[in-house]
Structure 1
Amino acid sequence: MPELTHVTRFVLALLLCLAPLSGSTAEVEKRPDIGRHFDAAGTQGTIVVRDVSADSTIVHNRTRAETGFLPTSTFKIPASLVALETGIVQDAHNDVLKWDGVEWIVPACNTDQTLATALVRSCVPIFAVLGKRIGDKRLNAYLADFDYGNHDATGSYPYWLEGNLRISALEQIAFLGRLRRNDLPISPDHMQTVRDILVTEEGDGYVMRAKTGWATSPEPEIGWVVGWVERGDNAYLFALNVDILKPEHIAARLDIAKAVLKDLGALP
């Protein structure tokens, strides 16, 4: 019986991993030409783009897309949701989160913040404090409810940069899809607040919502950019991670993602 339970769990985990690609009518398309954007930047990685209206998903480097990595600062999306849902932060735009006076590598973080500014500026010290206030047990319960990666916010702290938490590009897409369509088990108002904060770019007929991330602890270093583009009634979810082999690759994260989104018609 224990063996059967183990197999059952394995099968369920596999199905959950493949869910973003395997809906009843979903189509998966391989686009080898997308690799040229990684090649041009001199790095390697993966990108997953889901066209919601077409019910299709495009994957570059499927093996890597299924591999869990540290979420880095993309974790600040679920962390913000939990901070609001638990009441640790009541107002994302007005509650003051005090600076501890310790100089951080991001100058904009060396002052008092709100949740909104801390998320936009990716202030690790602020989210480290919020994480401690939430507590690992409560946070892990929310991550399980969100089906966020391996749900394992444990180990070295901050666990999204050094600990045991891992998430794949496919799992990022699944989580973002639930956030976009108000399908997470928390207040719709809190989801709307975080969606609004994530807006990074607006143009003629489109809105981009995104969050970047970067961790220096693995070898090689890892960089993320995740989010979605809204165009009329359609949306294109995307999740990219790359190896950060040189300083230029920090900016290349978003450059590659936007180039691929343009190729696919998600961006003008």
Structure 2
Amino acid sequence: MRTYKAEGVFMKALSILLIPALFLGCTSPSPKEAPAAAVKAAPAEPYPDKAVCFLLIDAQTGQIQKSVNEENCQVQRPACSTFKVPLAVMGFDSGILKNESTKFKWNGKKHSIAEWNKDQTAASWMKNSTVWYSQMLTGKMGFQKLKTYLRKFDYGNQDISGGIKTAWLTPASFTPEEKGFSLRISGFEQTDFLKKLLYDKLPATKRSQELTKKIMFLEKTPKGYDFSGKTGSGYTDETLKRRIGWFVGTLTTADRQYVFATNYIDTVDVENAEYGSRFAKQLTIDLLKEENLW
């Protein structure tokens, strides 16, 4: 299986990736050397102020159909709420989640996201990306079982030292005494995991994988294709000015199945911006349109 592990410290890897890949020359031809019309301007950076990764892979052949910045797709970044996908498989496989209607009671603590302020089922947990439901699930599962599943699934760096209720989260998602930020995964690792899930090849029951795919379903595309996925949002810094955005999932046409992973981080400070996952999802749709898949 094709697996990529980040080398060195996370921020060191990011700093390397943010070195500009292209430098323009300091001289240009004189009018005698070339007509002015022949001098072409460098193409504009399509994603300014962001380090973007995008992978669209034919799940049947394993071939990359489209990619953006594959080097970024090898860097492990915090899983954020994309971790809900393997966590759902774990929950169903372990029996903690009986089906998509398994309900956890809201404890009455107010959250800024209104949809979280009520009881949740497994289906609404995935749809609303409800953090407290994930934390109840990992708490019921316990450290050792969670660690075992991550190893069996070969999921990212398998590091939950940041806490069983916070390891996949980033600043603003946990309290100062909690560590968080430890469970990381790359774009390539996301697509490897999704391929196994798509074909029920994870070391878990088929039913657990089928139920997970059921609650991941989002919509039919304008072309009538099945579109499933999970977003994830976070920050790379404690000032909450540099976002992480994820969107991962599957697309099934009449004769093809694809897995995709989109990720980006801000490379400059952004004030009062929307969640990073929204840009990641829209970017995915835009790139699928370029491939005539939307």
Q: TM-score range by the shorter chain?
A: 0.7 to 0.9
For 2:47 and 2:192, locate their aligned partners in 1 and report how far apart those are by CA, in whole Å. 23
- What displacement does 1:84 show? 1.1
Counterpart in 1 of 2:108? Answer: 101
- Computing the radius of gyration from Cα coordinates, the structure with the larger value is 2
Instruction: Report if the CA contact (8 A) 2:246-2:277 is conserved.
Output: no
Decide which structure has greater helix share.
1
Identity %: 28
> 1:70 touches 1:165 (CA, 8 Å); kept in 2?
yes
TM-score (norm 1): 0.81
Q: What does residue 208 of structure 1 align with?
A: 227
- SS of the residue corresponding to residue 210 of structure 1 reads strand
SS of residue in 2 equivalent to 1:44 = strand
- Report the RMSD for the aligned CA atoms in angstroms: 2.1
Q: Which residue of 2 aligns with 1:148?
A: 155
Per the normalisation by structure 2, the TM-score is 0.74
> What does residue range 35-74 of structure 1 map to in structure 2 within 5 Å?
37-39=46-48, 43-53=50-60, 55-57=62-64, 58-74=66-82
Cα deviation for residue 224 of structure 1 reads 0.3
State whether residues 232 and 277 of structure 2, in contact with CA within 8 Å, keep that contact through their aligned partners in structure 1: no
Instruction: Judge conservation of contact 2:76–2:186 (CA < 8 Å) in 1.
Output: yes
Unaligned stretches of 5+ residues in structure 2 = 6-43, 170-179
What are the ranges of 5 or more consecutive residues in structure 1 without an aligned counterpart? 1-11, 19-34
Name the stretch that deviates more: 181-190 or 53-62.
53-62
User: CA contact under 8 A between 1:51 and 1:235: conserved in structure 2?
Assistant: yes
Q: Does the 8 A contact of 1:80 with 1:194 survive in 2?
A: yes
Residue aligning to 1:9: none
**Contact in 1 for aligned 2:51/2:72 (Cα 8 Å):** no
What is the distance in 2 between the residues matched to 1:218 and 1:64? 18
Kept in 2: contact 1:136–1:154 (CA 8 A)? no
CA distance 1:216–1:16, shift in 2 (3 Å): closer
Q: Given the superposition, is the C-alpha separation of residues 36 and 120 from structure 1 closer, same or farther in structure 2, using an over 3 Å criterion?
A: farther
**Residues 102, 169 of structure 1: alpha-carbon distance in 2 compared, 3 angstrom cutoff:** same
Change (3 A) 1:135 1:76: same
| CA shift for structure 1 position 90 | 1.3
What amino acid is the match of 2:244? I
Q: Equivalences for 1:1-268 in 2 at 5 Å? A: 16-17=3-4, 37-39=46-48, 43-53=50-60, 55-57=62-64, 58-93=66-101, 95-156=102-163, 157-161=165-169, 162-203=180-221, 204-216=223-235, 218=237, 220-244=242-266, 245=270, 247-248=273-274, 249-267=276-294
Aligned 8 A contact 2:92 2:211 in 1: no
- How far is 1:221 from its partner? 2.2
Aligned residues: 235
Query: Residues of 1 paired with 2:100 and 2:156: CA distance?
Result: 25
